């Protein structure tokens, strides 16, 4: 790795709640720069790490798009090849779970890439932004966070990007990792990661070659497939957030089977935890039926992560075989080790 100076932590500001102040209409919108945010964090002077801060975007999390993230991944990669020991992305929490998974797939380096934000804006009592930034920088600078892929750090908890989910609209403890729990935490200024990921998310050899539009259809009681047929006319791929272990109403099954003959259709569970099954149920519309009709199992990936994976694959020009291999590989990385990692 080439270096142009001493090791440092790169901080990228994207906007979001953490950077918002009150406007004349009484609402809040992103105004503060990344330097403003970092300057408001007590305790940074105790860290043995240089910070290099960049205002990359200034948007609500809901307004970020894939073009932003391709540029962000390239900027982080450049920093990692220039002596950066870890990177922190500060953004709106609305899309943290998706942004973090994009970075997890596109940045296979061992150096920690940490995404954080805030649930309470700076005008509120108990704003959590400074504490989250401090914890995120501590994790990004920590040797024990290396080799874990992209991480999400809020509320002093360290989550793996591929499992992190936003599970509350306002609580500072909004982020969870269903089935697995957090990998570690930050306490008394120490980074502790007692759980290690055995295998990283599969690294995608990604170079955007085409535009991609991937739909997400959530199955609900009484669906007959009409809306999916209408949606299918406008997408290059589809993720189905199905009932339970991967089930849809009987009338929807042939619609999805026909569609899977033309575009990749990924079968995920809308429950948010647990894998799509493969061989348990055998009724029309069951997981066995749908997989036999050509749908691709999302395995343990939730619908939002499945859509991220499918979008990147289609945009990179992957064929059906490549898409199936990538989803199979993503389902292979769910094992954990109980190896203790602590930074004093």
Active-site positions read 17
Which helix or strand (DSSP H or E) is residue 188 part of?
none
Q: Where are the beta strands (DSSP E) in 223-279?
A: 237-242, 265-269
The answer to whether 54 and 13 are in contact (CB under 8 A) is: yes
Q: Angle at the Cα of 307 (from 336 to 288), degrees rounded to 5?
A: 75
Query: Per the structure block, which two tokens stand in for 38?
Result: 């970092």
Q: CA-to-CA distance for 206 and 145, rounded, in angstroms? A: 24
Number of neighbouring beta carbons within 10 Å of residue 45 = 6
The answer to whether 156 and 131 are in contact (CB under 8 A) is: yes
Nearest to 262 by CA among 291, 232, 287: 232
Q: What Rg do the C-alpha atoms of the chain give, in angstroms?
A: 21
Cβ contacts of 167 within 8 Å, gap of 6 or more: 174, 175, 176
Q: CA-to-CA distance for 119 and 92, rounded, in angstroms? A: 8
| Burial readout 226-247 (b: 16 or more C-beta within 10 A, e: otherwise) | eebeeebeebbbbbbbbbebbb
The answer to whether 332 and 199 are in contact (CB under 8 A) is: yes
């Amino acid at each position: 790795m080439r270096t142009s100076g001493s090791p440092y932590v790169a901080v990228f500001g994207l906007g979001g709640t953490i950077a918002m102040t009150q406007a004349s209409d009484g609402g809040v919108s992103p105004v503060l720069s990344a330097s403003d945010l970092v300057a408001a964090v007590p305790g940074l002077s105790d860290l043995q790490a240089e910070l290099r801060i960049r205002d990359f975007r200034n948007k609500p999390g809901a307004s970020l798009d894939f073009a932003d993230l391709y540029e962000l991944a390239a900027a982080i990669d450049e920093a990692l090849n220039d002596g950066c020991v870890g990177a922190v992305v500060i953004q709106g929490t609305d899309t943290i779970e998706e942004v973090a998974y994009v970075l997890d797939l596109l940045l296979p380096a061992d150096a920690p890439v940490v995404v954080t934000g805030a649930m309470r804006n700076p005008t509120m009592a108990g704003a959590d932004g400074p504490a989250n930034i401090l914890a995120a920088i501590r994790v990004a600078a920590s040797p024990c966070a290396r080799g874990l892929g992209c991480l999400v750090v809020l509320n002093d908890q360290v989550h793996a990007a591929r499992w992190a989910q936003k599970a509350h609209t306002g609580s500072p403890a909004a982020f969870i990792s269903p089935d697995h729990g957090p990998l570690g935490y930050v306490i008394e200024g120490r980074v502790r990661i007692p759980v290690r990921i055995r295998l990283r998310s599969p690294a995608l050899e990604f170079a955007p070659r085409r535009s991609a539009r991937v739909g997400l259809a959530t199955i609900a009681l009484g669906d007959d497939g009409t809306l999916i047929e209408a949606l299918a006319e406008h997408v290059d791929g589809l993720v189905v957030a199905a009932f339970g272990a991967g089930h849809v109403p009987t009338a929807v099954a042939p619609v999805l089977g026909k569609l899977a003959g033309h575009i990749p259709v990924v079968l995920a569970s809308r429950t948010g935890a647990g894998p799509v099954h493969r061989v348990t149920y055998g009724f029309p519309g069951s997981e066995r039926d749908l997989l036999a009709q050509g749908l691709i199992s999302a395995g343990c990936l939730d619908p939002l992560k499945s859509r991220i994976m499918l979008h990147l694959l289609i945009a990179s020009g992957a064929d059906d075989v490549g898409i199936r291999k990538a989803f199979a590989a993503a389902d292979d990385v769910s094992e954990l080790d109980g190896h203790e990692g602590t930074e004093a």
